[in-house]
Structure 1
Amino acid sequence: MESGDKRYYSIREVADMFDVNISRLRYYEKEFPTLSPKKNRSGDRVYTKTDIDHLREILDLVENRGFKLQGAREYLNKKQGTLNETAAVLDKLREIKQFMTTLRDGLGSEGGNGQEVKANSKQ
């Protein structure tokens, strides 16, 4: 990939990066709904670095690892589901951490040594 600070790449640039036909990129857009480059005002596709990374993963699955298109779609969907589950767990853990921090700070501000809370919690 080019080493510039370029934000958007034309479909021709991306095709040249991967040494594939433009028609193949368009075909993969239809076969993989997660690959959806934006279009500029004139209607030309523009790929971001994220789109290019996703396309690289698709090409790796299909060309190097021997996946059929359906198998590659299922693999990517499962991977995305796992990422979503992980993100949900992390969000919950952050909430718990925030609650615990608030609880700890509240105990410290009462000026007690925590024994009062232990006595009350046993009731």
Structure 2
Amino acid sequence: MASKQDDDLKLYYAIGEVAERLGVNTSQLRFWENEFSHIKPNKNSRGERRFTKENIRQLEEVQYLLKDRGFTIEGARKEVAARKKPRADKQEIIDRLQEMKSRLQKLID
């Protein structure tokens, strides 16, 4: 059994390892790879997929959206795309919230 420290040093994971880690079968991972263009595992000379930690994080995100949140494939694609869009900076968000607070206060008064 590999120790946690060995896992930290590992750069690539075989599809079977990733499937076991996520509790799905390998065909599920291949399906997600086809459906979500941002998941691009490396392939060795024999065409075997080699997943990075970033690929695993992406797969965990897809799994969360599909299984836990109940998204459809299309809905999950849109959610992933929306998360990649640049977010408003912190001050802009604070300004918007203060404006909303002001409007709400006027409604209360």
Same fold (TM over 0.5): yes
List structure 1 segments (4+ residues) > 6 angstroms apart after TM superposition. Answer: none
Structure of higher RCO (CA pairs closer than 8 Å, 6+ residues apart): 2
Larger-gyration structure (1/2): 1
Are residue 28 (structure 1) and residue 46 (structure 2) matched?
Answer: no
Partner in structure 2 of residue 60 of structure 1: 64
Partner in structure 2 of residue 15 of structure 1: 19
Q: Structure 2 CA distance, aligned partners of 1:31 and 1:11?
A: 16
How many Å apart are 1:82 and its aligned residue? 2.5
How many Å apart are 1:74 and its aligned residue? 0.2
34, 38, 45: which is aligned to 1:41? 45
Are residue 74 (structure 1) and residue 78 (structure 2) matched?
Answer: yes
Residues 70-108 of structure 1 show CA distances to partners (whole Å, capped at 9, x for unaligned) of 00000000111226x87xxxxxxxxxxxxxxxxxxxxxx
Q: Structure 2 CA distance, aligned partners of 1:10 and 1:75?
A: 27
Could you tell me the percent identity over the aligned residues?
38
Residues 13-68 of structure 1 show CA distances to partners (whole Å, capped at 9, x for unaligned) of 00010111101100001110011101012110000000000100000000001111
Report how many aligned residue pairs link the two structures: 84
Return the letter of the residue paired with 1:80. K
The two structures, once aligned, show a CA RMSD in angstroms of 1.6
TM-score of the superposition, structure 1-length normalised? Answer: 0.64
Unpaired runs of 5+ residues, structure 2, are 90-109
Unpaired runs of 5+ residues, structure 1, are 87-123
Return the letter of the residue paired with 1:63. K
